Structure 1
Amino acid sequence: MRLLALAALLALAALGWRLWQGPPLETLELRRQDLVQTVVVSGHVETPHRADIAAQITGTVLEVPVREGQAVKAGDLLVALNPAEAQAALAQADAALVQARAQRRQLEELQRPQAELALRQSAATLDTTRASADRAEALFAQGFIGQAARDEAQRALVLADAQWRSAQRALEALAPNGSQFALAVAAVGSAEANAAAAAARLAYTRVRAPQAGLLIARNVEAGDVVQAGKLLMTLSPAGQTQLVADVDEKNLRLLALGQAALASADAYPQRRFDARLAYINPGVNAQTGAVQVKFDLPAPPAELRQDMTVSIDIEVARRPQALLLPVAALREPASAAPWVLRVVEGRAERCVPKLGLRAGGWVEVLEGLAAGDRVLPATAGLAVGDRVRVAAP
């Protein structure tokens, strides 16, 4: 009986001791490891720009020798329009140009020599008439001829002088700096411009790739009648591929040019590739509250396609061997001063640590806790000062 009583007494003492120690609870331990904070966004693949290829004249499509998704080189034929009307217009413009050049040549080779000859003839006539007028004046003074004869000689001199001046002006007009020559030169220039415009219009019947790239849209077929300005194809030019994404403005303070990122296409989620933040839009979209950002790809994977959806993890901060606290231990985590219950000598003690980065279920501890400290999960129903017993791992 004594042994049974002693055993019962010891059992009661052990139970009382355990009750006095508090309930056994699982705890969370602080530890040191690298912490990387990321911002995850969704975006799409984009080349720096697209080229919308449109018709520049109205015409009927004769041929479309390319297909959607085809890679083309600069100058490759994309669409051929019926050139008959443009060819006729060019022939007419070329004929007008030949005529204008012939008229200028006629001015130089025929009209100008004729004007020079006429000037020489009028000058000779003027000299002869002036001599005759001088003789008539002398004879009149001597009384050998009358006033009528003297006046007739003077009228002939005035007429000869007028003819000489007219011939002189005609030759000046035909000179390289004269008005007639300038009109001939202008006519040739106008004809050349019309011929060039007609040649350009004919060239517009052959729509070619402005640069190398990938055709991502085709909106025309042979037999279509297209109007000037109608979109025929969309070309994604070959060049640097970028990722474009919209980031919530609340994360704007975390972003900086040059930050590293890891991306993956939704079509190939297991194939991750490097990216680097290259552009942050200075404005915020008022409707969505987002900021557009762009990423350069040092080595874009071959499987990337224009407008493909991608997921991007932006590394915004890194702390090597930081002291980390599980976020599950934080109480009032959204307040200005989150706190934890730390186990100190078998009791739950309130502790308000100074915190830093948060990422992946962990938060960086700057002050207030040390490595190896154990804290209670926020779900543990204990108050400050309660006894607690650390459960065996």
Structure 2
Amino acid sequence: MPTLLPRRLPLARTTRRSPLAALWLALLLALLPAVAKAQASPSTVIAARADTRTWSEQLEALGTLRADESVTLSATVTEIISEVSFEDGQRVSAGDELIRLEDSEEQAQLRAAQALRDERRNALSRASQLQSRNLAPRANVEDSQAQLRQVEAQIDEIEARLAAHRLRAPFDGEVGFRNISVGSLVTPGMALVTLDKLDVVKLDFQVPESRISLLSRGLPLTAHSPAYPNKRFQGQIESIGTRIDPVSRSVTVRAKLPNDERWLRPGMLMEITLDGASRQALVVPEAALIPEGRRQSLLVIDEAEMTAHLRDVSIGARRAGRVEVLDGLSAGDLVVIHGSQSTRDGQAVEVLGIVDESTSVAEILSRSRPAVAASAKADDA
């Protein structure tokens, strides 16, 4: 019978701790108090209140400016320029003579016709006197009257030709560049000078047919040009096109903008904002939003406990740094707009200031820097 030997138990393995692991453990133990202190200290934030404002459907478009009145003056006869009465960019009034063409031949014809008219008037006067004394037939008087009317018609014809030798401003406006000189030969249809009425300018732009319900005559709008970054031009819709473009599916809209200072010029590209029907909406600064995919959240401050809590919200339209909140928030709620990245859900907060119409984030930060620095020194001590 085999002898059963006692089973040898394995010797206990001696574990050796590496110096690197010991160093990491010591560092972790040293940082634990600082982490705990940081978790206990409140987060410094800047806040704003959710408020109810008048909100309107906005429509944005691009448009091109046109002069209120614009014309290119040209000659209707072949003649030589005898006088130019304007300079580049000069403002002129309706009826001012701008260009005169050589008209000496027509002036001579006019003087001859006027002399003939005087002769015919005298002949009519003599025939009338004789007829009144029954010394001449009535037919002589009638012939003299017809001859006088004929020469008067000739005078009107000559004066019309003379008017064609003088180019006058049809309305008040500003002339363009002077590209002609005295002595130049002009022909019918030849462009001589442009004239634009610029105290009011037209603004044409396209609006999709799906938004045509927002349009109405007299609707105010705001226009902006990259040429004047800090200037906004106010105007209103004057007319709406009667047809929809079958290709672009849009309608042409024309507005008018006052331009007393002559800042706007025909051909300029304008960015247009139209305000449609208005409503009351709950809005907060756009900086308060914390996006995460399709989810939008806000850090709402519990003013009783001074803690921030993450809250999901539904948002609507955005406009000029503000966003409409459709659900998840109430008017008067205090939301974090600066410092949200360093603030966790449920963490205590210290509000440096509340942004409103008269106070900005930059002003609050500027005022609070000395206090923040002193608080940091106290914490270090």
TM-score by length of 2: 0.58
Of 105, 122, 140, 2:125 maps to 105
Retained in 2: the 8 A contact 1:37–1:359?
Answer: no
**Change in CA separation of 1:214 and 1:189 when aligned onto 2, cut-off 3 Å:** same
Q: Distance between the aligned counterparts of 1:274 and 1:342, measured in 2?
A: 36
The reply to whether residue 306 of structure 1 matches residue 326 of structure 2 is no
User: Structure 1 regions of 5+ residues with no counterpart?
Assistant: 1-30, 118-170, 332-339, 344-350, 373-388
**Change in CA separation of 1:323 and 1:213 when aligned onto 2, cut-off 3 Å:** closer
Q: Distance between the aligned counterparts of 2:259 and 2:128, measured in 1?
A: 67
User: In the TM superposition, what are the counterparts of 1:214-293 in structure 2 within 5 Å?
Assistant: 214-216=174-176, 218=178, 220-237=180-197, 239-293=199-253
**Change in CA separation of 1:50 and 1:341 when aligned onto 2, cut-off 3 Å:** closer
How far apart are residue 44 of structure 1 and its match?
2.8
Q: Distance between the aligned counterparts of 1:297 and 1:84, measured in 2?
A: 46
How far apart are residue 313 of structure 1 and its match?
1.3
User: In the TM superposition, what are the counterparts of 1:115-134 in structure 2 within 5 Å?
Assistant: 116-117=134-135
Of 69, 84, 91, 1:64 maps to 84
**Change in CA separation of 1:247 and 1:327 when aligned onto 2, cut-off 3 Å:** farther
User: In the TM superposition, what are the counterparts of 1:28-67 in structure 2 within 5 Å?
Assistant: 33-34=52-53, 35-67=55-87
For 1:358, give the aligned amino acid. Answer: A
SS in structure 2 at match of 1:283 = strand
**Change in CA separation of 1:329 and 1:49 when aligned onto 2, cut-off 3 Å:** farther
Retained in 2: the 8 A contact 1:42–1:312?
Answer: yes
User: In the TM superposition, what are the counterparts of 1:74-223 in structure 2 within 5 Å?
Assistant: 74-110=94-130, 112=131, 116-117=134-135, 174-175=137-138, 179-216=139-176, 218=178, 220-223=180-183
SS in structure 2 at match of 1:271 = coil
Q: Distance between the aligned counterparts of 1:95 and 1:213, measured in 2?
A: 40
**Change in CA separation of 1:290 and 1:96 when aligned onto 2, cut-off 3 Å:** farther
Please tell me the root mean square deviation across aligned C-alpha atoms, in Å: 4.0
Retained in 1: the 8 A contact 2:201–2:259?
Answer: no
For 1:254, give the aligned amino acid. Answer: L
Q: Distance between the aligned counterparts of 2:261 and 2:60, measured in 1?
A: 20
How far apart are residue 301 of structure 1 and its match?
4.5
For 1:234, give the aligned amino acid. Answer: T
**Change in CA separation of 1:255 and 1:88 when aligned onto 2, cut-off 3 Å:** same
For 1:371, give the aligned amino acid. Answer: L
How far apart are residue 235 of structure 1 and its match?
1.1
**What CA deviation, in whole Å up to 9, does each residue of 1:10-42 have, x standing for no partner?**
xxxxxxxxxxxxxxxxxxxxx655444322222
**Change in CA separation of 1:285 and 1:224 when aligned onto 2, cut-off 3 Å:** farther
Q: Distance between the aligned counterparts of 2:171 and 2:278, measured in 1?
A: 42
How far apart are residue 219 of structure 1 and its match?
5.5
How far apart are residue 252 of structure 1 and its match?
1.6
Larger radius of gyration: 1
Q: Distance between the aligned counterparts of 1:307 and 1:88, measured in 2?
A: 46
Give the number of aligned pairs: 272
**Change in CA separation of 1:229 and 1:274 when aligned onto 2, cut-off 3 Å:** same
**Change in CA separation of 1:291 and 1:93 when aligned onto 2, cut-off 3 Å:** same
Q: Distance between the aligned counterparts of 1:113 and 1:298, measured in 2?
A: 66
Of 305, 317, 340, 1:358 maps to 317
Flag the structure with more relative contact order, 1 or 2, with Cα contacts below 8 A and sequence separation at least 6.
Answer: 1
For 1:260, give the aligned amino acid. Answer: P
Aligned to 1:315: 275
SS in structure 2 at match of 1:310 = strand
**Change in CA separation of 1:279 and 1:391 when aligned onto 2, cut-off 3 Å:** farther
**What CA deviation, in whole Å up to 9, does each residue of 1:48-97 have, x standing for no partner?**
32233232433111222323322112333211111112112212322332
**Change in CA separation of 1:287 and 1:33 when aligned onto 2, cut-off 3 Å:** same
How far apart are residue 189 of structure 1 and its match?
1.0
**What CA deviation, in whole Å up to 9, does each residue of 1:226-262 have, x standing for no partner?**
2344332221135433333222333222222333322
How far apart are residue 298 of structure 1 and its match?
5.4
For 2:235, give the aligned amino acid. Answer: A
User: Structure 2 regions of 5+ residues with no counterpart?
Assistant: 1-49, 299-312, 331-343, 350-381
Q: Distance between the aligned counterparts of 2:189 and 2:278, measured in 1?
A: 52
Retained in 1: the 8 A contact 2:93–2:173?
Answer: yes
Task: Give the number of the structure whose residues are more often helix, by fraction.
Answer: 1
SS in structure 2 at match of 1:199 = helix
Q: Distance between the aligned counterparts of 1:327 and 1:307, measured in 2?
A: 42
